[in-house]
Amino acid sequence: MNKILEVKNLHKSFGRLEVLKGINLEIFQGETIVIIGPSGGGKSTFLRCINHLEDYQSGEIIFLGKKIDKHTSNLNEIRTKIGMVFQHFNLFPHMSVLENLILAPTKVKKISKEEAVQKAKVILERVGLIEKINAYPDNLSGGQKQRVAIARALMMEPVLMLFDEPTSALDPELVGEVLEVMKDLAKSGMTMIVVTHEMGFAKEVADRIIFIDKGVVAEEGSPEEIMKNPKNERTKSFLRHIL
């Protein structure tokens, strides 16, 4: 199998506070990895290091065989291959759904507007929002916003998708529609890293679950192993609290 991402001994501090204390991870093509763990444990920071929204102090991040760090010269090109979905959607409110989708393909990848629009329609169809193509983000529900955000990331044809608590800001009744889209994506073979508390989702689509606590990978295993027989005391107590 093709190795998409390798993280070796990653350390990251904010000032004197060390948030990541040596994270190791490998992810292969088509895998879906779910990261769980208490808040403040470094899950989001870890994701943000992968596409270098955050710099890190030591260790290595290797994406498709190339190191990602502050010296990486073609960072923008690499970022087009790593889609990211945020907890608070971060849609561009001054642009319509269509404009949100075609901005990066036309400005970064320089594909023609016609081609981008065609593609946007296909992807909006896929996330079930073709009728909202001309709507503005303010007029969408939280679930619809997040599906547009996923569509926007897919427009760049990423090799890897990062989801940073994509359903945490949603009303409970809107969580399902977003998870459905993510499940479809996982089943279509997309390589994904998902930070979430949705254990049902993890159980259904995760190839591996990683429990990050206090800046380290405290436990790693299949959903079965982690949910039925957690070895680590911290994993046990965490799962007791969220299930």
Partner 1 sequence: MEAISVVITNLPFLLLGAWDTLKLTFFSVLIGLVLGTFIGMGRLSKIKVINIPSTVYVEFLRGTPLLVQISIVYFGLPQLGIQLQAYPAAIVALGLNSGAYIAEIVRAGIQSIPKGQYEAARSLGLTHWQAMRYIILPQAFKNILPALGNEFITLTKDSSLASVIGVTELMRRGQFVITRTFQTFSIYFGIALIYFVMTFTISRIVRYVEKRMAVA
Minimum CB distance to partner 1, residue 64 (Å) = 15
In the complex with partner 1, which residue's Cβ is closer, 48 or 132? 48
Give the nearer residue to partner 1 in terms of CB position, either 79 or 132.
79
Binding mask 166-195 for partner 1 (x = CB under 8 A): ------------------------------
Q: Which is nearer to partner 1, 161 or 218 (CB)?
A: 161
What is d(CA 168, CA 147) in angstroms, rounded to the nearest whole number? 14
Stretch near partner 1 under the rule CB under 8 A, chosen from 26-34, 76-84, 210-218, 229-237: 76-84
d(CA 238, CA 65): 35
Distance of CA 36 to the CA centre of its chain: 13
CB of 84 to partner 1, least distance (A): 4
Q: Is 43 in the site for partner 1 (CB under 8 A)?
A: no
Q: Residue 91 is encoded by which pair of tokens?
A: 């849609």
Interatomic CA distance for residues 169 and 176, integer angstroms: 13
Q: 80 or 232: whose CB is closer to partner 1?
A: 80
Answer yes or no whether residue 49 interacts with partner 1 by CB under 8 A. no
Only one of the segments 11-19, 37-45, 102-110, 193-201 lies at the binding site for partner 1 (rule: CB under 8 A); that segment is: 102-110
- Cα dist from 31 to 28, 208, 213, whole Å: 6, 8, 22
Q: Two tokens at 228? A: 């039925």
Q: Is 104 in the site for partner 1 (CB under 8 A)?
A: yes
- Residue 88 as a binder of partner 1 (CB under 8 A): the answer is yes
Spatial separation of the C-alpha atoms in residues 127 and 58, rounded to whole Å: 38
Q: List strand residue ranges (DSSP E) for 166-207, in order.
A: 191-195
Residue 84 interacts with partner 1 (CB under 8 A): yes or no: yes
| Strands of the 216-221 sheet, one edge to the other | 82-85, 160-164, 191-195, 32-36, 208-213, 216-221
Residues that bind partner 1 (CB under 8 A): 51, 53, 76-77, 79-80, 82-84, 86, 88, 90-94, 103-104, 107-109, 149, 152-153, 156
